[in-house]
Amino acid sequence: MTDGKIDTLGRHKRVLAVSSGGGHWEQMMLLSGAFKDAKTTYATTIPGLLQRSKIADGHILPDCNQDQFFASIRCFISCLALVIKQRPDVVISTGAAPGFFCLVAGRLLGAKTIWIDSVANVEKISMSGKMAKYVAVLWLTQWQHLAKPGGPVYAGEVL
């Protein structure tokens, strides 16, 4: 009954997929086949991307990075509000800061969390990726040479 591979339980899972605009978003779109059977809500930071990707009811979050303290607080509050509203079973992000905040909020509210570090991070895991280690149930890198026994795990790449 609980083995999702056999029945269609996956169809009822609620997934929140959050990625900043640009490369992070492109990577999420390339992975979207992974949650096409789930009830998926998308969020990004650039208005227009949702329409371009033909997503009818996504959300726009304010962008921020680690250098902007107040913008980060504002961003975190928006992320928390979105997660409280959506109550996802799974929160997934390909980066960057807003995705990390949604993972934090998701974990606080009991969701399973997935961090996929951007394929752009070739030499080391990103700053938000390093912090995501503490809130991600599944902590992934897209480069085999960056995988380590205690994580991050390599399970493939978008390229």
Partner 1 sequence: MILVTIGTQLPFDRLIKIMDTIAPSLSDRVFAQIGNGEYRPTNIEWQPSIDANEFEGIFEKAKIIVSHAGMGTVLTAQKMKKPIIIFPRSAALGEHRNDHQLATAKQLQERPGVYVAYGETDLKDLLQTDLAGPLATEVEPEGRRKLVGYLKDFIQSA
Residues at the interface with partner 1 (CB under 8 A) = 2-5, 9-10, 13, 15, 21-27, 30-31, 33-35, 37-38, 46-49, 51-52, 67, 89-90, 92, 112, 114, 116, 118-123, 138, 140, 142, 155-159
Least Å distance, CB 22 to partner 1, is 4
- Edge-first strand listing for the sheet containing 90-93: 59-60, 39-44, 14-18, 90-93, 112-116, 138-141, 153-154
Token pair, residue 144, equals: 């085999």
CA distance 68 to 135: 21
Question: Closest CB to partner 1 among 110 and 149?
Answer: 110
Q: Pick between residue 49 and residue 79 the one whose CB is nearest to partner 1.
A: 49
* Residue 123 beta carbon to partner 1: minimum distance, rounded to whole angstroms: 4
What DSSP designation does 20 have?
A: -
Distance between CA 103 and CA 62 in Å, rounded?
16
Nearer to partner 1, 15 or 82 (CB): 15
Place of tokens 């928006």: 78
CB of 66 to partner 1, least distance (A): 9
**Helix then strand then coil, % of the chain, to nearest 5:** 35, 20, 45
Report, in Å, the least distance between residue 137 CB and partner 1. Answer: 8
